[in-house]
Structure 1
Amino acid sequence: MTKPKILVARRAPAVVIDKLTAHFDVDAVQGDGVLPPDELRARLQGKAGAWITGTERITAELLDACPDLKAVCTMSVGYNHIDLAACTARKVLVTNTPDVLTESTADFGFALLMATARRMSEGERLLRDGQWKSWSWDFLAGSDVHGATLGILGMGRIGQAIARRGRLGFGMQVIYHNRSRLPAEAESLMGARY
């Protein structure tokens, strides 16, 4: 039996390619660059599926040029790079990876907040440049994070995850602005005030 052909549009871990190869005839791109639209269209010829990231655009024109395509799987939370109406009209299944990066992004955001408040990047540069010669009580003192007020603009999944870190991990007062107010129970869990 012939395996369905698929395109993996970006470099992927070998273990992923191995698992896919057990079920599909895989055309795997080895680089991390974005495939130009003409190359994406050419490589999708005869393919039943595409594994893409948020940088490959799936348009009605592309779908018309690739009539064998039955599934588009994007390794991204967002899917605004995919014309869902065109996929639906052509019965092309679309999948994404919701919530896969919420906690990681919140960790990174909170780490940046802490690094800024405590002047970590500045201190690291001084240390590497051999300029850290002595200490004084106000040298790179920075600002306290614990007990501070954390203001969040946009209280979606990532904003809420950052609020939890601030409130529960650092005793911060959390205030937020969002297009719409969160339910009272969500605000209570984060100690957040609209």
Structure 2
Amino acid sequence: MDRLLVSRALPDSVMEALRARFDVTCRDTTQPMTLDECRAALADHDVILPTLGDAFQADAFEGTIRAKGLANFGVGYNHIDVEAARDAGLVVTNTPGAVTDATADIALTLMLMCARRAGEGERLVRAGDWQGWHPVQMLGMHVSGKVLGVIGMGRIGYAIARRCHAGFGMNVVFHNRSAKTVEGARQLGSVAEVCAAADVVVTAVPASPETHHIIDAAALAAMRPHAILVNIARGDVVDEAALIEALQSGGIAGAGLDVYEHEPHVPKALRAMENVVLLPHLGTAALEVREGMGRMAMENAVAIAEGRRPPNPV
């Protein structure tokens, strides 16, 4: 029976299915794999099922390798040096599609929480400081009819745009590396143009060298003082230091973040600001979604083990 390492426990139904097909080893921690663990796994297992943060960078592939591939749990795979893995003879896969709607939903959660000051309001109530309703209490942004700017019009970007256009009557502008026709949306030539035009800017790009700090100081400077930024992509697509400066200086009105540049570290400056909504990477945190991701990762793992082309190579 092929040996499979699961870097962190998946939902019970997925683990049961994996154990029926593989000789499974599952780490008993929720922390990412270290370099030494990655090297040992590559030497001792036929397939590895890694996830966010596991240290499969170039130096992980320098030792003895038994593994045939990495069946990543998640659509993002910036923790894996794919080129180095391929050079070492490994196949790398991910789980697109399964995460689309759940991640788009979290984008809207953050957008509404930030625009309507929901996090701030809940903290007010929990602290026992609410003095009662009045006409100018905690006025926020009314999102209906506003302009949404999407950075990255892939599956998730499109799902966000569709929700906002159909549900809130928002006009949508977007930036994408390639030309794309999207009903109800208009493509602009640069990130800065989108930032300047939008009331809400949402990042929906994969993490790559090309998208690192795609929201930088210049992009933030192009945003208007009433605008908010939402990041549900990967933490390092936003220059976190520049974002803190923009928020502290009043350059933008607020931010909703589900991911962070040096996750799980969240800067004290962000945690101190009332106009920032902070979630602990909840993008796909629904049982049926994680089960779907697990089934997709398993299909990839089985194909890798059997020497077939997997359904979702990267």
Q: What's the TM-score once normalised by structure 1's chain length?
A: 0.83
| Residue equivalent to 2:146 | 148
Deviation readout 1:108-132 (Å, 9 max, x if unpaired): 1111111112111121111111111
Moved more, 127-136 or 74-83: 74-83
Provide the residue aligned with 1:104 in structure 2: 102
Q: Which residue of 1 aligns with 2:23?
A: 25
Quote how far apart the aligned CAs of 1:175 are: 2.0
Change in CA separation of 1:123 and 1:58 when aligned onto 2, cut-off 3 Å: closer
8 Å CA contact retained: 2:144, 2:168: yes
Counterpart of 2:24, as a letter, is V
CA deviation profile, 1:62-108 (whole Å, cap 9, x unmatched) = 44534321231101213343344444455433221113322222111
Distance 1:85 1:122 in 2: 44
- What is the DSSP-based 3-state SS (H/G/I as helix, E as strand, rest coil) of the residue aligned with 1:146? coil
User: Matched residues in 2 for 1:118 and 1:81: separation?
Assistant: 34
Is the 1:5–1:47 Cα contact (8 Å) retained in structure 2?
A: yes
Cα distance in 2 for residues equivalent to 1:123 and 1:61: 47
Q: Which residue of 1 aligns with 2:73?
A: 75
* Cα distance, 1:182 vs structure 2: 1.6
Which runs of at least 4 in structure 1 moved beyond 4 Å after TM superposition? none
Q: Which runs of 5+ in 1 are unaligned?
A: none
From 183, 186, 193, the equivalent of 2:186 is 193
Please state whether the residue corresponding to 1:65 is helix, strand or coil: coil
Q: Distance in 2 between matches of 1:148 and 1:58?
A: 42
**Bigger Rg over Cα:** 1
The question of whether the paired residues in 2 share the 8 Å contact of 1:57 and 1:82 is answered with yes
Number of the residue aligned with 1:137 = 135
Q: Aligned to 2:67, what secondary structure does the other structure show? A: coil
- Larger relative contact order, structure 1 or 2 (CA cutoff 8 Å, min sep 6): 2
Alignment correspondent of 2:161: 163
Aligned AA for 1:25?
Answer: D
Q: 8 Å contact 1:53–1:75 — kept in the other structure? A: yes
Letter of the aligned partner of 1:20 in structure 2? Answer: L
Contact 1:63/1:69, CA 8 A, preserved across alignment: no
Identity fraction in percent: 41
C-alpha distance in structure 1 between counterparts of 2:66 and 2:31, whole Å: 25
Query: Which blocks of at least 5 consecutive residues in structure 2 are unaligned?
Result: 188-314
- For the residue of structure 1 that corresponds to 2:97, the secondary structure is coil
